[in-house]
Amino acid sequence: MYVSWASLALLSQLVSLGLAADTDAWKSRNIYFALTDRVARNSDDTGGDACGDLSNYCGGTFQGLQSKLDYIAGMGFDAIWITPVVANTDGGYHGYWAADLYSINSNYGTADDLKALVSAAHDKGIYVMVDVVANHVGPSAIADHQPEPLNQDSSYHSQCTINYSDQNSVENCWIDNLPDLNTQSSDIRSLYQKWIGWLVTEYDFDGVRIDTVKHVEKDYWPDFSAAAGVYTIGEVFDGDPSYVSGYGSLMSGLLNYPMYYPMNNFYQQTGSSQAMVDMYNQISSLFPDPTTLGSFLDNHDNPRWLNTKNDLSLLKNALAYVILARGIPIVYYGTEQAYAGGADPANREDLWRSSFNTNSEIYQAISRLSATRKSAGGLAGNDQTHLYVADTAYAWSRAGGKLVVLTTNSGLGSTGNYCFDTQVPNGSWNNTFGTGSYTSDGDGNVCVTVSNGEPVVLLAA
């Protein structure tokens, strides 16, 4: 049968589109969140002295990050979220102080370096998500901002201090004295839509993380998200599920701040598993698609987990929830090295001080959890079943019982025997986090043993 080259080209295009990084493709991904300035200084970085001033540039580069892709993939991550890449005003080591939307932050390297990083990640099957800010720009003279008309006062709201009890103030006043964009302006909206489409296309990004979403009026976001053309996940920094869910249909997904608080409360021994389950159920009823939400236990805006509760066994249980419960896992760089920095900037340590140790206890723990997620089929579905809710324990299943996870909050050194109904009669599983295997009886009941307070992760044999 004769097939024209044009037909083959069209077919190739359709196949490429089918592999594009849309929302469904992201649901089974596992994300490593990296501050570009803090990962690695060059392509030969094997470690060194800690950065002396975490409030300024420490020297991390795109080339350095590229050289650590195998280190990242070794934990089972198949996506990276990187901090904003645009040129920043002085001191913007983190990337959130934009100065010129169409230029790359030269402290990190060149535009070609960034393209090489993304290309290398793609060659390894790793998606790259870029962080962007559409609410504000960096703290410098308005006249210095690019492109036009960002160098004009009319592109910004009048300066005022945010009153967080007034949504209008939240949307129109200035965060930390950062010039607040006049996002109601059709010119500003068009500028940012054109820019985000260009940024994603120019650098071949697979996803976009959007900063400070609640600080911009809601009707701004659908067109901005659509212009990105890929999965977008927004930050609505608030623990109230009713408030956060109001943004749930405006972009592809959101960071799961509503779950962040009760989840950490339970695994840090200050809250109940029932509160966590109640929040899970609230999210189920309030959000259009809970599987698009990003699960996390800390980040660059919150103290590191171990700073609040210095217990590696408890951390492993929390990580088991993030990686194996419903949602898209996001793990903050340095977690794998048991970093324990407090509030910003102490929670933004350089990674090279760890010498990129792949034998560290938490690096290995994350690797095992990620491997189980993949072996269970990627866990993209809205298929979590609460199996056991107790004072010091929470167990759930995914994938129709193929995966059963028991977590506890008793902590380091604790042991225990836990019996519960898996809802899988005569099931058989291997413990992928520890050793041994388990079977359920004819009614689905199983008894598992917790050692040293670590999670029990059962994958169907």
- The string of pLDDT tens digits covering residues 268-279 is 999 999 999 999
- Which pLDDT value is given to residue 261? 98
- Which pLDDT value is given to residue 19? 44
Average pLDDT over the chain, rounded to an integer: 95
The question of whether 350 is a catalytic residue gets the answer: no
Span 235-251, average pLDDT: 98
- Which pLDDT value is given to residue 439? 98
Give the integer Cα–Cα distance in Å for 350 and 370: 24
pLDDT bin (cut points 50, 70, 90) of residue 16 is very low
Among 100, 235, 238, 311, the active-site one is 235
Res. 39: pLDDT tops 50: yes
Question: Residue holding tokens 């102490």?
Answer: 346
Q: What percentage of the chain reaches a pLDDT higher than 70?
A: 96
The residues near 81 (Cβ < 8 Å, ≥ 6 apart) are 31, 32, 33, 34, 129, 130, 131, 207, 209, 330
pLDDT bin (cut points 50, 70, 90) of residue 21 is confident
The question of whether 235 is a catalytic residue gets the answer: yes
pLDDT bin (cut points 50, 70, 90) of residue 20 is low
Cα–Cα distances in angstroms (integers) from residue 365 to residues 27, 255, 327, 362, 454, in the given order: 22, 23, 19, 5, 10
- The H or E element spanning position 57 is none
Give the integer Cα–Cα distance in Å for 181 and 32: 30
Max Cα distance, the chain (Å)? 73
- Which pLDDT value is given to residue 151? 98
Q: Phi/psi at 212 (nearest 5 deg)?
A: 45, 50
Span 285-314, average pLDDT: 98
Among 37, 113, 171, 211, the active-site one is 211
Question: 3-class DSSP state for residue 429?
Answer: strand
Span 230-251, average pLDDT: 98
Res. 441: pLDDT tops 60: yes
Give the integer Cα–Cα distance in Å for 71 and 34: 12
Tokens of 436: 């041994």
Span 64-92, average pLDDT: 98
